[in-house]
Amino acid sequence: MRPLASIGISFRNPGKYFELAVKSVFAQSFREWELILVDDGSSDGAVEFARSLDDERVCVVADGRELNLNLRLNQMIDLARAPYFFRMDADDCMHPDRLLKQIGLLEASDQNTVTGSAYYAIDENSRVVSLRGAERRQRYGFAARHSFAHPSVAASTAWFRKHRYSESFLFHRSQDAELWCRTSASSRFVWLPEPLLFYRQIGVFSVDKHLGTMMGVLALARRYNDRSRMRCMAILAQELVRLYCRLGLDLFDVTYLPERWLHHTISPAERESAQRLVEGIARVELPIHVVSQVSG
295 in a structural domain: no
Residue 173 identity (one-letter amino acid)? R
What is the distance between the alpha carbons of residues 200 and 120, in angstroms, rounded to a whole number?
9
Neighbours of 126 (CB within 10 A): 18
DSSP label at residue 264: B
Structural domain includes residue 289: no
d(C-alpha 170, C-alpha 177), whole Å: 12
pLDDT at 291: 56
Q: What is each CA distance from 30 to 6, 85, 104, 171, 205, in whole angstroms? A: 12, 14, 11, 33, 33
Q: What is the CATH number of the domain that holds 233?
A: 3.90.550.10
63 lies in which domain range?
Answer: 5-282
Distances in Å between the alpha carbon of 55 and those of 20, 43, 88, 121, 142? 17, 23, 19, 30, 42
Structural domain contains residue 159: yes
Q: What pLDDT is recorded for position 219?
A: 82
Q: What integer is the mean pLDDT of 231-248?
A: 56
Count, residues in the chain: 296
In a domain, 34, yes or no: yes
Among 170, 204, 199, 186, smallest CA distance to 70 is for 170
Reference 63, options 75, 77, 81, 53; nearest CA is 75
What's the pLDDT tens digit per position in 190-227? 999 999 999 998 765 556 666 767 777 888 887 887 55
Give the whole-angstrom CA distance, residue 237 versus residue 242: 9
- Secondary structure (3-state) at 266: coil
Whole-angstrom Cα distance, residue 218 to residue 233? 9
In a domain, 182, yes or no: yes
Number of domains in the chain: 1
Segment 73-88, tens digit of pLDDT: 999 999 999 999 999 9
- d(Cα 290, Cα 40) in Å, to the nearest integer? 24
Domain assignment present for residue 292? The answer is no
State how beta strands 33-39 and 128-132 pair. Answer: unpaired
Q: What is the DSSP letter of 142?
A: G
> Within a domain: residue 181?
yes
Q: Identify the pLDDT of residue 189.
A: 98
Residue from 269, 129, 144 nearest 199 by CA: 129
Tens digits of residue pLDDT in 98-120 = 999 999 999 999 999 999 999 99
The stretches of the chain forming alpha helices (DSSP H) are 17-26, 46-51, 69-79, 98-107, 157-162, 175-183, 207-224, 229-251, 257-262, 268-282
For the chain, first and last CA: distance in Å?
A: 41
pLDDT tens figures, 156-180: 999 999 999 999 999 998 999 999 9
Spatial distance between the Cα atoms of 139 and 282, rounded to a whole number of angstroms: 36
* Residue 295, pLDDT score: 41
Distances (CA, A) of 129 to 70, 86, 187, 200, 267: 29, 24, 32, 10, 11
Instruction: Give the separation between CA 73 and CA 197, rounded to whole angstroms.
Output: 19
Asked if residue 213 is part of any domain, the answer here is yes
Q: What are phi and psi of 91, to 5 degrees?
A: -120, 10
